[in-house]
Amino acid sequence: MTAAAGSRGAGRERLVVIGGDAAGMSAASQARRLRGPDELEIVAFERGHFTSYSACGIPYWVGGHVQERDRLIARTPEQHRARAIDLRMRTEVTEIDVDRQRVRARDVDSGAESWTSYDRLVIATGARPVRPEMPGVDAPGVHGVQTLDDGQALLDTLARTSGRRAVVVGGGYIGVEMAEALINHDHEVTVVDRADEPMSTLDPDMGRLVRTAMEGLGITMAGGTAVTKVLTGDDGRVRAVATEHAEYPADVVVLGIGVRPETSLARAAGLPLGAHGGLLTDRAMRVRGYENIWAGGDCVEVLDLVSGQERHIALGTHANKHGQVIGTNVGGGYATFPGVVGTAVSKVCDLEIARTGLREKDARRVGLRFETVTVESTSRAGYYPGASPMTVKMLAERRTGRLLGVQIVGREGAAKRVDIAAVALTAGMTVEQMTALDLGYAPPFSPVWDPVLVAARKATAKVRASMS
Amino acid sequence: MTAAAGSRGAGRERLVVIGGDAAGMSAASQARRLRGPDELEIVAFERGHFTSYSACGIPYWVGGHVQERDRLIARTPEQHRARAIDLRMRTEVTEIDVDRQRVRARDVDSGAESWTSYDRLVIATGARPVRPEMPGVDAPGVHGVQTLDDGQALLDTLARTSGRRAVVVGGGYIGVEMAEALINHDHEVTVVDRADEPMSTLDPDMGRLVRTAMEGLGITMAGGTAVTKVLTGDDGRVRAVATEHAEYPADVVVLGIGVRPETSLARAAGLPLGAHGGLLTDRAMRVRGYENIWAGGDCVEVLDLVSGQERHIALGTHANKHGQVIGTNVGGGYATFPGVVGTAVSKVCDLEIARTGLREKDARRVGLRFETVTVESTSRAGYYPGASPMTVKMLAERRTGRLLGVQIVGREGAAKRVDIAAVALTAGMTVEQMTALDLGYAPPFSPVWDPVLVAARKATAKVRASMS
């Protein structure tokens, strides 16, 4: 127990949580489950208006699949408070004083500041969207889609621009999901991306399949070109997006370029940050070198179990797991987060996109030599109605045959098939071991050889050939 | 090389394959891929009219999802012959003479018999349906659904009985799939099963969910009762099915009780059979104790990697894998079939049913102590349209926490989720390791905690509690 804890007497400790979204509030809730209010006081600071909401759901709310904003909120401030969590909304932590074990917080509306001491601290400050520095980026009609407030502002704009032209900047998963949302609002959609092919979380050959499918949906794909400025009309609102080569008329612009860890507080406090700007933790999600500070969610780097290196991945599912692990440890239990294999799934209309493990360039970067195969198969037995084509790309290490990564592009039933590879990667399986996997087979669900097994067979043959 | 091979000179060996369906013809095709006709002569015997067809597809053909019988045929006799396989249709092998390395075959139509010697032999005689010994079981209107001929005969009957009453005997996966097919033919359907709950490949508590769902589809479920006889009318056709307690009027009866390994030839030849009547092989699918005889498909027993014991499982996906392994080994390569974990998926209308690993009674039988948990979750984020409820049951070994089995009952997206557990079982993961699995997450595909992870978390807590 720390000195500060002792100073409050009666052995009652105080946990301070910075950030009221998935990681922070999962940690708080789990700690509360394990330790009652008599043992542990929990104070949580959130600078925004909402707690525990699904940022991943925003494209579907904007796109109209989800009717009400509040459906994205897993737990309201009131619900947290009912569980004896002292949640302070619209209160921004402005400093972490590690030496004196306290944080300074500012009431966003009044500007009043005060210090709160802690025995244990959880940093869950999330990520901030990349907002390109360029003329016009702050013009009305240009929207991010990071927060619920962002989503509402975009919906307000879309109510006025239906039937008109939208430009999405960025062809990653936020970009492609927003393209679908904008189609649902009857916009003509253009996606502008710096990379030649969209979904640069895939290899370019798989990204090309996504581009072709998106073009088939009527989306204009402008790849290999960077946005240089946002042009505005006489009314000051956006009227076009300019690249080095062209101008794309736009009544609304959505920025979907990605996010960076929000670690300015941590940096100022001297906490350890990694190459991607995220906090570095141990397996128990403790900030490295600090016995009583934990961090999780979009503000940390995670270990990639396949490459052995740290990465930054902003995903709600990781944030929830981190929170669970942190809360268990803060609550006196024991849990660890071993790392990730880099699984991600998304969709554009009926196109499903999935990846796990390493792309070709990731494997090269960490010095791995590998073989790749790409196979075409179907989601169901070929004779069963609704069988849809599916492309599976697989990377396997040379000589050892260890699975390194899988990418899948297809229709219904494509995305979640990547879980087979995610588990196999976690277990360190070879592609030859995978060929014997006892996967669910019945004609409505799979060909007699599941597409992942077809890829594993072909990869096995290629690995063997590489050894002779 | 054997003496018999030598007697044919020039080093050309002869491979004889008994059985022209999945295992046998996969083995023949793979062997041919690796060794050309100059090196290896391949003779295959098939007593029926068809080769390489999907028996698993028959319910969907009968049910009208698949329009044409021939779509179930992966490869015709002509296609096999074009690959230099000497395929003898309507020719039944009646004896294996292991000492002299030859088989006796009879032309089904002419009755003519002759001996064919082999250097290498593949036994792929499949399975035969259990046909209960009871009065009336051979009456017109009573149908099995094992072969394409069976399927055509049933379709002929159904064309006459539409809008009338059907009884399915057996509530396993064939039974429930046939119930759907009969509904599609506008029959009033009753399923009679000896067990209290259908799908006895699940634990009864999960089977109950299937029963409730099937009753919701308008199917009458008569469980816990054995059929004693088939009653016929004045025209000699079936008119009802009688159990100990009741009579169920029936214009058509489908037998879906299951299958047994077809190993009478192997038994007569003195080859080793297991407790379930299937041939016993080593990992390379060689019949144990015989250097030049392989066996695969529905006529063999397979090692259950979770229980460590042999089982009989008739499934096309295993038969294909066996054939692939046998063909590789016969062709001079090296491959093994390590075993199964017992994965199976099926559906009744929009109800999806899946299982892998051990049921409670399987675990007890092999002396394992375990904890079970059952969780309710959804296929997608709760706020996303089409999110459907899903029940996941998980068994974990006490103390070690090793995953032992998973059963899932739900709607769209339920069945293939079992693959996550199938891979985890193969890798020997604990439920605690599973809680950290990096599975695909996006609102259209999964809640932020995948249902399988929710079950793993709860199972982890229960395993931990059992240790204190």
Task: Give the DSSP letter string of A267-280.
Answer: HHTT--B-TTSPBP
Residue B132 CA to chain centroid, in angstroms? 19
Same domain for B124 and B12? yes
Nearest in space to A120 (alpha carbons), one of A12, A14, A266: A14
Low-confidence ranges of chain B (pLDDT < 70): 1-10
Same domain for A384 and A442? yes
Same domain for B26 and B71? yes
Position B136 in a domain: no
Residue of A nearest to B354 (CA): A440
**Rg of the Cα trace of chain A?**
24
DSSP-assigned letter for residue A279: B
Cα torsion through B355, B356, B360, B364, rounded to 10: 160
How many C-beta atoms surround the C-beta of residue A334 within 10 A? 10
- What is the residue-averaged pLDDT of chain B? 95
pLDDT score at B347: 95
Asked whether the beta carbons of residue B415 and residue A354 sit closer than 8 angstroms, the reply is: no
For residue B419, give the nearest of A56, A384, A439 by CB distance: A439
Same domain for A215 and A303? no
Mutation target among B345, B390, B423 for the A interface, most CBs of A within 10 A: B423
Residue of B nearest to A69 (CA): B383
Tens digit of pLDDT for each residue in B54-88? 999 999 999 999 999 999 999 999 999 999 999 99
Which residues of chain B lie closer than 8 angstroms to A433, CB-CB? 338, 426
* Residue linked to tokens 């394992």: B368
A467: exposed, middle or buried (Cβ count in 10 Å: 0-12, 13-18, 19+): exposed
How many C-beta atoms surround the C-beta of residue A155 within 10 A? 17
Cα–Cα distance between A275 and A298 in angstroms, integer?
15
Which domain-ending residue is among B297, B330, B363?
A: B330
pLDDT score at A2: 37
pLDDT score at B115: 98
Rounded mean pLDDT of A247-259?
A: 95
Which residues of chain A lie closer than 8 angstroms to B317, CB-CB? 438-439, 441, 446, 448-450
Which residues of chain A lie closer than 8 angstroms to B55, CB-CB? none
Same domain for A296 and A147? no
Nearest in space to B434 (alpha carbons), one of A334, A331, A311, A427: A427
Mutation target among A419, A431, A446, A452 for the B interface, most CBs of B within 10 A: A419
Mutation target among A423, A431, A454, A457 for the B interface, most CBs of B within 10 A: A423
A8/A196: higher pLDDT: A196
Asked whether the beta carbons of residue A338 and residue B422 sit closer than 8 angstroms, the reply is: no
pLDDT score at A10: 59
A466: exposed, middle or buried (Cβ count in 10 Å: 0-12, 13-18, 19+): middle
Same domain for B408 and B371? yes
Left (φ > 0), alpha (ψ -120 to 50) or beta: where does A201 sit? alpha
DSSP codes joined into one string, A332-346? T-------B---EEE
pLDDT score at B1: 33
pLDDT score at B468: 73
Rounded mean pLDDT of A118-138?
A: 94
Same domain for A268 and A121? yes
Decide: B421 and B406 in contact? Cβ < 8 Å: yes
Within a 13 Å sphere around the CA of B70, how many CA atoms are in the beta-carbon half? 2
| Distance of residue B453 Cα from the nearest chain A Cα, in angstroms | 10
Asked whether the beta carbons of residue A71 and residue B345 sit closer than 8 angstroms, the reply is: no
For residue A441, give the nearest of B316, B385, B449 by CB distance: B316
Q: Which helix (H) or strand (E) holds B190?
A: strand B188-192
Residue of A nearest to B343 (CA): A440
How many C-beta atoms surround the C-beta of residue B247 within 10 A? 12
Decide: A325 and A58 in contact? Cβ < 8 Å: no
- Asked whether residue A248 carries a pLDDT value surpassing 70, the answer given is yes
Cα–Cα distance between B254 and B193 in angstroms, integer?
12
- What is the residue-averaged pLDDT of chain A? 95
- Asked whether residue A7 carries a pLDDT value surpassing 50, the answer given is no
DSSP codes joined into one string, A405-416? EEEEEESTTSGG
Q: What are the phi and psi torsion angles at B194 (to 5°)?
A: -65, -35
For residue A419, give the nearest of B336, B356, B439 by CB distance: B439
Q: What are the phi and psi torsion angles at B436 (to 5°)?
A: -95, 5
- Partner residues linked to A242 by β-bridges: A229, A247
Asked whether the beta carbons of residue A317 and residue B448 sit closer than 8 angstroms, the reply is: yes
Position B134 in a domain: no
pLDDT score at A116: 98
| Residue B53, both tokens | 């067809």
Asked whether the beta carbons of residue B438 and residue A341 sit closer than 8 angstroms, the reply is: yes
Position A291 in a domain: yes
How far apart, in Å, are the Cα atoms of A424 and each of A37, A202, A327, A428? 42, 19, 28, 6
Which residues of chain B lie closer than 8 angstroms to A442, CB-CB? 56, 173, 344-347, 415
Q: What are the phi and psi torsion angles at A432 (to 5°)?
A: -70, -40
Q: Containing domain of residue A172, as a range?
A: 142-257
Cα–Cα distance between A359 and A207 in angstroms, integer?
12
For residue A327, the one-letter residue type is G
pLDDT score at B10: 60
Asked whether the beta carbons of residue B437 and residue A422 sit closer than 8 angstroms, the reply is: yes
Which domain-ending residue is among B257, B273, B295?
A: B257
| Distance of residue A114 Cα from the nearest chain B Cα, in angstroms | 35
Tens digit of pLDDT for each residue in A267-321? 999 999 999 999 999 999 999 999 999 999 999 999 999 999 999 999 999 999 9
Domain count, chain A: 3
Q: Which helix (H) or strand (E) holds B325?
A: helix B316-330
Decide: A210 and A198 in contact? Cβ < 8 Å: yes
Same domain for A237 and A280? no
Asked whether the beta carbons of residue A340 and residue B417 sit closer than 8 angstroms, the reply is: no
Cα–Cα distance between A60 and A71 in angstroms, integer?
11
Same domain for A118 and A72? yes
| Residue B349, both tokens | 């209308």
Cα–Cα distance between A361 and A75 in angstroms, integer?
40
Same domain for A270 and A183? no
ipTM confidence score: 0.95
How many C-beta atoms surround the C-beta of residue A220 within 10 A? 15
Q: Which helix (H) or strand (E) holds B212?
A: helix B204-216
SS3 state at A16: strand
Which residues of chain A lie closer than 8 angstroms to B385, CB-CB? 65-66
Percentages helix, strand, coil for chain A (3-state, rounded to 5) are 30, 30, 40
Asked whether the beta carbons of residue A381 and residue B449 sit closer than 8 angstroms, the reply is: no
For residue B418, give the nearest of A315, A320, A440 by CB distance: A440
Which residues of chain A lie closer than 8 angstroms to B429, CB-CB? 423, 426-427
Which domain-ending residue is among A241, A257, A273?
A: A257
Percentages helix, strand, coil for chain B (3-state, rounded to 5) are 30, 30, 40
Tens digit of pLDDT for each residue in B172-224? 999 999 999 999 999 999 999 999 999 999 999 999 999 999 999 999 999 99
Asked whether the beta carbons of residue B448 and residue A320 sit closer than 8 angstroms, the reply is: yes
How many C-beta atoms surround the C-beta of residue A3 within 10 A? 8
For residue A436, give the nearest of B22, B173, B321 by CB distance: B321
DSSP-assigned letter for residue A304: B
CATH for A304: 3.50.50.60
Position B368 in a domain: yes
pLDDT score at A468: 73
Instruction: Tell me the CA end-to-end span of chain B in Å, nearest whole number.
Output: 61
Tens digit of pLDDT for each residue in A418-450? 999 999 999 999 999 999 999 999 999 999 999
Decide: B149 and B155 in contact? Cβ < 8 Å: no
Same domain for B10 and B92? yes
| Residue A295, both tokens | 């961090």
Nearest in space to B48 (alpha carbons), one of B122, B121, B104, B128: B128
Position B135 in a domain: no
Position B307 in a domain: yes
Which residues of chain B lie closer than 8 angstroms to A338, CB-CB? 433, 436
Position B230 in a domain: yes
Asked whether the beta carbons of residue B438 and residue A342 sit closer than 8 angstroms, the reply is: yes
Same domain for B123 and B103? yes
Position B337 in a domain: no
- Asked whether residue A4 carries a pLDDT value surpassing 80, the answer given is no
For residue A416, give the nearest of B173, B385, B440 by CB distance: B440
Asked whether the beta carbons of residue B426 and residue A437 sit closer than 8 angstroms, the reply is: yes
Decide: A1 and A13 in contact? Cβ < 8 Å: yes
- Asked whether residue A60 carries a pLDDT value surpassing 50, the answer given is yes
Decide: A387 and A394 in contact? Cβ < 8 Å: no
Please list the active-site residues of B.
Answer: 56
